[in-house]
Amino acid sequence: MIKIKFTKMNGAGNDFVMIDKRDLGDYTLSAEEVISVCDRRRGIGSDGMIVIQPSQTADFEMIYYNSDGKPGSLCGNGARCAVKFARQQGYFGNNLTNFEVGGKKFSGEYYNDNLMGFHTGPPEKIKLNFKIKAFGQLITSHYANTGSPHVVIEIGNILEDPGKPDSGFTNLEKVPVLDIGKEIRYSRDFSPGGVNVNFISRIGNDVFIRTYERGVENETLACGTGSIAAALVLNSKYGIQSPVNLKTAGGDTLNVEFSNNAGTYSGINLTGPAKINFTGIFNII
């Protein structure tokens, strides 16, 4: 039996089991073990698992697994949690850090015990105003790859009744995120890797967002790279200026800052809460 220390954290409700590879030694968790740990009924329960380990080229390396046991792509809220966890574990001592994810370099910032920043690179692609067939209709959608692929949909473009052209959703809470998100996530248009699906609503200066995440295969309380994607889409389409504050399903606010020079993005920063839920030890039998 192997005893493994962990820290349960959440970034705006997006929750993770955090492990320091130095506590694992030579042991590597299998996909089945990751699934078991992330199981909300039979395990610790989380949207994913993050392992941090020493890096030869940065302060630390972050390895992210979705709750389905498979390695995930870039995770913004996970990165913010990793910044706090790595500092706590002694990987760096200042407020600024650089770290490695999937062979790429990123940086983060420790503002205070509850607020972390994640600095990321420009989007690989942004595409506006294309149609996706889902929910019995063609839905005007947008796309941004912000380290992970994201569809962004303004809820007014989804008809509650496909037979009534004036029946666009006005209340984000009433949108069937799970049903529409799952249908688009598995659409042949995005195969074989699939896509995350974000639903947004603007009320005055406030932007509200809900996200279906691939790998979790469910709605999560927040998605960092999805929030970045939504902010950049809103800037590209409507000229909404930085910073953009997004109200998540979990009730927290994620702040996205960026610069846009003639359509070229830089200085992208995701800021929001990162908190420790509890710590403990689990056994691998």
Catalytically annotated residue among 49, 75, 159, 246: 75
Q: Are strands 115-120 and 264-273 parallel, antiparallel or unpaired?
A: antiparallel
Q: Are 212 and 183 in contact (CB under 8 A)?
A: no
CA-to-CA distance for 42 and 57, rounded, in angstroms? 38
38 annotated active-site: no
For residue 261, list its beta bridge partners.
Answer: 264
CA-to-CA distance for 197 and 183, rounded, in angstroms? 10
Catalytically annotated residue among 209, 223, 234, 256: 223
Give me Rg for the CA atoms of the chain: 19
Neighbours of 189 (CB within 10 A): 15
H or E stretch at 231 = helix 224-238
Helix 224-238 / helix 76-88 crossing angle, nearest 10 deg: 130
Q: Are strands 115-120 and 137-145 parallel, antiparallel or unpaired?
A: unpaired
223 annotated active-site: yes
Residues 6+ apart with CB under 8 A from 188: none
Q: Are strands 2-11 and 275-284 parallel, antiparallel or unpaired?
A: antiparallel
Q: Which one, of 280, 282, 277, lies nearest residue 9 by Cα?
A: 277
Q: Which one, of 98, 25, 78, lies nearest residue 216 by Cα?
A: 78
CA-to-CA distance for 155 and 170, rounded, in angstroms? 7
What's the token pair of residue 127?
């595409």
| Catalytic residue ranges | 75, 223
